[in-house]
Amino acid sequence: MRKPTVVLGILGSQMDIGGRNRWDRWRPTVDLCRHDDLIVDRLELIHGSSHTELAEAVTVDIAQVSPETRVRLHRLDFADPWAFEVVYAGLLDFVRAYPFRPDDEDYLVHITTGTHVQQICLFLLTESRYLPGRLLQTIPPARRDQGDPGAFALIDLDLARYAPIAARFAEDARAGESFLKAGIATRNAAFNDLITQIEQVAGVTRAPILLTGPTGAGKTRLARKIFELKQNRHQIRGGFVELNCATLRGDAAMSALFGHVRGAFTGAVRDRSGVLKMADGGLLFLDEIGELGVDEQAMLLRALEDRVFLPVGSDREVRSEFQLVAGTNRDLRADVATGRFREDLLARIDLWSFRLPPLRERREDVEPNLDYELERWSQRHGRKASFYGQARTAFLKFATAADAVWSGNFRDLAAAVERMATLAPGGRISVREVEAEIARLRAAWSGTAPHAGEDLLTRLLGRDKLAEVDPFDLVQLAEVVRVCAAARSLSDAGRTLFAASRLRKRSSNDADRLRKYLQRFDLEWADIHPEDA
């Protein structure tokens, strides 16, 4: 089935002029719609305020020669239609706001009319995929015999002498790279080069992208940023769908990926759309793709190659157009050698493969990421988190040292900031919180118990009940329990935990405050100190 053809162009203030003899003249915008082998379903026509009357007259003439063409007029004024920066900025704002649907419509960019600068800017916006279409030039007939509309052709241009616009395009590319890095001013040269490559690839292709690297290196965050970048550039119309393949087992794996029909297996009481269908028109991120079974791998390969698949229990194929971004911390080539991973699937997803380095290989990026995590904490909790100068120096010295393992990579760093900022009075992290966190991280990296309070919590509440506690509350509760376990009385523990706030009160009952806090989690002092019961 033919997709509707949409042409975007600029009104020719001279070439499109009408009059009584207008049908004896070649008018690019009108004649564009008179080709038998080019059906224009919709024309998006840009014009200035001073040429509104001409634009309306052209619309009337197009209705006569091509009734099936719908014309939509867009008034766009340029302060100087010959100034590169002015024109490029105006057209860029226009296309960013335009609701492109490249999966549903074919776009052609008409560059015959308008000033030369406007034509070149349209070309640049098309090449950079801000305009997701093909370039089109219309050509006048050698003789205007019997209303010949001329010809049309795809064209190419030499951009070498348009340095100002090329510089603007490079600036946009740098903005894209910063976006992929979440605005973090990373300093590691290898990582910055990697992001530059990903920005270039993500901007021009819908082929699968494979992100490799250890757990916590930032694959999920980068996948979402790739989606948002493509969405901002009108290269994708669907949503972001994410699935961790390590959580899939048995029939649930097939169903989660490809969906199922009612009655396909025990418990399938209704139809279900899998993530492949949910990602239609969008981006599908399959994290830990190396954990998929061989059957799921085979079906995924077919879905990537043919864009169709069979839901579990169905004999009717389902079509889905999606871009795949896959993540893994495994060596997939080694898995191919052992038969654990299909060689043909790896070949299909390995066209664009990028390895995200662990944090220990990016020590110069610890400081900007530390500031990023502090800002995220502040946004989540509505209050500022920061270090005292000496505390910041101490933490960075530890974090960038050669023996800093960072086995959990950026998850370790984010968790460290969460704990220090949460436990610090007023969010101002002191040397005390830093030293406690350093001890905790070293213990965790060495394989010893990570936190005495967490061990005690596990014994008091059990793992099932702990799983129901939010991570934010868990960090705070673990520290409270640790202090209580070391204290001689409820009042003693309260004085320690509320040491700062109690000084600002005329009277305080620290024991009562602490008792009420513990009761929120169904805990009593006697649970922590059974000898006092």
Q: Are 421 and 429 in contact (CB under 8 A)?
A: yes
Residues of the chain with pLDDT under 70: 144-146, 154-179, 181-183, 251, 264, 447-455, 463-464, 500-508, 531-533
Distance CA 68, CA 167 (A): 41
Q: Are 229 and 179 in contact (CB under 8 A)?
A: yes
**CA distances (Å), origin 525, targets 141, 184, 469:** 94, 44, 19
Q: How many residues would you count in the chain?
A: 533
Distance CA 216, CA 412 (A): 8
- Tell me the sheet residues that pair with 70: 42
pLDDT at 480: 87
**CA distances (Å), origin 447, targets 399, 459, 470, 529:** 18, 19, 24, 28
Q: Are 320 and 280 in contact (CB under 8 A)?
A: yes
Distance CA 441, CA 353 (A): 32
* CA 59 distance to own-chain centroid: 40
- Cβ-count burial 439-464 (b if 16+ within 10 Å, e if not): ebbeebbeeeeebbbbebbeebbeee
Distance CA 435, CA 386 (A): 16
Q: Which two tokens stand for residue 443?
A: 């213990």
What DSSP string runs through 284-323? EEEETGGGS-HHHHHHHHHHHHHSEE--BT-SS-EE---E
- Specify whether the backbone of 147 is left (phi greater than 0), alpha (psi in -120 to 50) or beta: left
Which residue in 89, 86, 90, 95 sits closest to 76, CA to CA? 90
Average pLDDT, the chain: 85
- Tell me the sheet residues that pair with 136: 110
Amino acid symbol at 364:
E
pLDDT at 19: 78
DSSP H helices, 98-142, are 116-127
Distance CA 304, CA 288 (A): 17
pLDDT at 65: 92
The pTM for the full model equals 0.56
- Tell me the sheet residues that pair with 45: 9, 73
pLDDT at 164: 55
Q: Are 241 and 278 in contact (CB under 8 A)?
A: yes
pLDDT at 160: 46
